[in-house]
Structure 1
Amino acid sequence: MINITEAAQTHFAKLLANQEPGTQIRVFVINPGTPTAECGVSYCPPDAVEATDTELKFDQLSAYVDELSAPFLEEAEIDFVTDQLGSQLTLKAPNAKMRKVS
């Protein structure tokens, strides 16, 4: 569903180290399947995990995705890129505005 690169996992692990124990990340889509769809990443404390969430386990963390966002995050990738101008987190979700048709 979602690929989180090693660089992004390391970045998230550093951020999560300063949060409440057990906090992970949540990846979501606001207005999925519409031209105004927007993707986001937020902290997900243990008490915010819903029974219908999908847990994606990675080496350094877990990412939770709600059931409405899941189909729109197929083939999504989160990366942490460093260049001469600095570092930035990128989230590419080619199916956020339209669900992938098999």
Structure 2
Amino acid sequence: MIQISPAAQNYFRHLVEQQNISGLGIRIKAIHAGTPKADCVLEYCEPGDLAGDELSIDCAGFNIHIDAASTQYLEDAEVDYQVNATGGQLTIRAPRIKGSVPDANSPFADRVQYVLDSEINPQIAAHGGRVKLVEANADGVVVLQFGGGCHGCGNADVTLKQGIERTLRGHFPEIREVRDATDHASGHNPYYKGEKGASAMG
């Protein structure tokens, strides 16, 4: 998984201690993952900001949290901090973050996953949500699972039908049906509670 050098850990620890907030950590996530625009974002993160499915790394005094949707793109990533004449520089090398664009001969599931990662997840991330591919079969049926703010959201069906399904059908006319396999009753922190709101896309 991701490698965080002792120098980088010390740098983060210093930043966290300066904030003087109990339980404060650092969150690392990939934005526009799997696309040429992919990049890493680091931010302070309090316990209440966590979705609960992050990969957490104990750094002796604080935790670094890897956003769940970013873990596959941060595999083999290296975070380091180098002291130089002007102070220091934090570097993140993530060889998998931009992924690779699947071609027309790639498996259907890979092509659907690419659209989820490059177009759909960046949009619903504004609502703290994400969607994961469970299945994409040769019969044109795509099964998805919502997470984060979309898990238990009162308007997840609108997002699925008016946003996600429309986008996927635009890329893949062979899709007959997009299904939601999420147990929304178990959602802990939905963006919309109850039946209200609008699609998280658009």
**TM-score (norm: length of structure 2):** 0.46
1:29-68 alignment, distance < 5 Å: 29-68=30-69
Q: In the alignment, is residue 75 of structure 1 matched against residue 76 of structure 2? A: yes
Gaps of 5+ in 1: none
Is the counterpart of residue 2 in structure 1 residue 5 in structure 2?
Answer: no
Higher helix fraction (1 or 2): 2
Partners of 1:30 and 1:64 in 2: how far apart? 15
Q: Distance in 2 between the 1:47 and 1:34 partners? A: 30
Distance 2:6 2:65 in 1: 17
Equivalence for 1:14: 14
Higher strand share: 1
In the alignment, the residues of structure 1 paired with residue 51 and residue 86 of structure 2 have an alpha-carbon distance, to the nearest angstrom, of: 38
**Structure 1 length as normaliser, TM-score?**
0.88
Verify the 8 A CA contact 2:24 2:62 in the aligned structure 1.
no
Contact 1:9/1:60, CA 8 A, preserved across alignment: no
What do the CA deviations read for 1:52-73 (whole angstroms, capped 9, x no partner)? 2111223343111122111000
Tell me if structure 2 keeps the 8 A contact 1:30–1:39: yes
The amino acid of 1:58's aligned partner reads C
C-alpha distance in 2 between matches for 1:84 and 1:14: 19
**Separation in 2 of the partners of 1:82 and 1:52?**
33
Q: Aligned partners of 2:90 and 2:16: how far apart in 1?
A: 15
Give CA-to-partner distance per residue, 1:19-75, whole Å, 9 cap, x none: 211101101100111111011211111111112211122334311112211100001
Change (3 A) 1:87 1:81: same
Relative contact order (alpha carbons < 8 A, sep ≥ 6): 1 or 2 greater? 1
Kept in 1: contact 2:79–2:90 (CA 8 A): yes
- Contact 1:31-1:38 within 8 A present in 2 as well: yes
Q: How many positions carry a matched residue from both structures?
A: 99
Which structure 2 residue ranges, 5 or more long, are not aligned? 101-202
Aligned residues: percent identity?
35
